[in-house]
Amino acid sequence: MPPTLSQQIQTFYDSSSHLWEQVWGEHMHHGYYGPNGQQPKARQQAQVDLIEELLAWGNVQRPQAILDVGCGIGGSSLYLAQKYQATVTGITLSPVQARRAQVRAQTAGLSAQTTFQVVDALNMPFPDGSFDLVWSLESGEHMPDKTQFLQECCRVLKPEGRLLIATWCHRPTPPALTWSEQRLLNDIYRIYYLPYVISLPDYAEIAQTLPLTELKTADWSVAVAPFWDEVIRSALNPQVIWGILNAGLQTLQGSLALSFMSRGYRQGVIRYGLLRGTKLTSEPAE
């Protein structure tokens, strides 16, 4: 039987996370280079700045119980646990990432506050109303059902809890995606194990069907796009190339395709979308 999408995502992160951490550090997400993408800064600083800018944009107020959906090796989870002295649950499809996140938490003295589990975001074992911040940084693009993804995130939020999502999108339609835009997207989907992406207005439309208020979206493509050129520059080093070759075919393909993302931003077909909402205190009347 061919592997399912979840198995492919798991294998991709199981095999590439170690190399990513060695070369690029604990954050597996874009960096923030100022609203016009013009602020020169070190890549890792840009990644931390993205977290801080998102928290400010989302008007996040001292959450005490946080869910990090698609937590990678716990980059954001540990950052948020420390910043807010909060408890953080991180979920990922990759057992290698969950184990690494646990070890990193121990080293950081944060293991009492954090747990990392292999859980599918589309079917979470957490009771309704468990968290006061649900944070998802660049995992939505992997979800095969975007509606179920948002529904699950909303379900586990406490009343008045905050949902904050940053995810890869395609440009708003209409006009319909052209053949060459769709071809570039297909290449990106294949390389990064994405079923498909949707536009930011599509996310907003789904969010409007959920018990959420204070809905807000933003397109930060310009602010984050320089990230890929930075990653490409740092990958052009014999040690990194050797690491990529050793990590296996999936990682090799992923590395060869770094330029697809940079092209996607230049052409305007790839967008970096933000969505924020607050859980209603009671379900709206039918």
Ligand X SMILES: C[S@@+](CC[C@H](N)C(=O)[O-])C[C@H]1O[C@@H](n2cnc3c(N)ncnc32)[C@H](O)[C@@H]1O
Residues near ligand X (CB under 6 A) = 9, 13, 27-29, 70-72, 75-76, 91-94, 97, 120-122, 137-139, 142-143
Instruction: Starting at the earlier edge strand, list the strands of the sheet with 87-92.
Output: 114-118, 87-92, 65-69, 131-137, 157-170, 270-279, 212-219
Residue entry with tokens 């492919």? 8
- What is the smallest separation between the CB atom of 114 and ligand X, expressed in angstroms? 14
Residue with smaller CB distance to ligand X, 214 or 253: 253
- What is the smallest separation between the CB atom of 11 and ligand X, expressed in angstroms? 11
Token pair, residue 141, equals 């693009």
Q: What is the DSSP string of 147-203?
A: HHHHHHHHHTEEEEEEEEEEEEEEPP-SSPPPHHHHHHHHHHHHHHT-S---BHHHH
- What is the smallest separation between the CB atom of 267 and ligand X, expressed in angstroms? 21
Residue with smaller CB distance to ligand X, 144 or 280: 144
Q: Strand 87-92 and strand 270-279: pairing? A: unpaired
Residue with smaller CB distance to ligand X, 143 or 198: 143
- 131 beta partners: 157
Question: Buried b / exposed e across 103-141, counting CB within 10 Å, b at 16+?
Answer: ebbeeeebeebbbbbebebeebebeeebbbbbbbbbbbb
Query: How many CA atoms are closer than 13 Å to the CA of 233, on its beta-carbon side?
Result: 7
- What is the smallest separation between the CB atom of 171 and ligand X, expressed in angstroms? 21
Residue with smaller CB distance to ligand X, 5 or 222: 5
- What is the smallest separation between the CB atom of 66 and ligand X, expressed in angstroms? 12
- What is the smallest separation between the CB atom of 112 and ligand X, expressed in angstroms? 22
Residue with smaller CB distance to ligand X, 27 or 43: 27
Taking the C-alpha atoms of residue 111 and residue 90, their distance in angstroms, rounded to an integer, is 12
- What is the smallest separation between the CB atom of 179 and ligand X, expressed in angstroms? 28
Residue with smaller CB distance to ligand X, 153 or 184: 153
Residue with smaller CB distance to ligand X, 39 or 148: 148
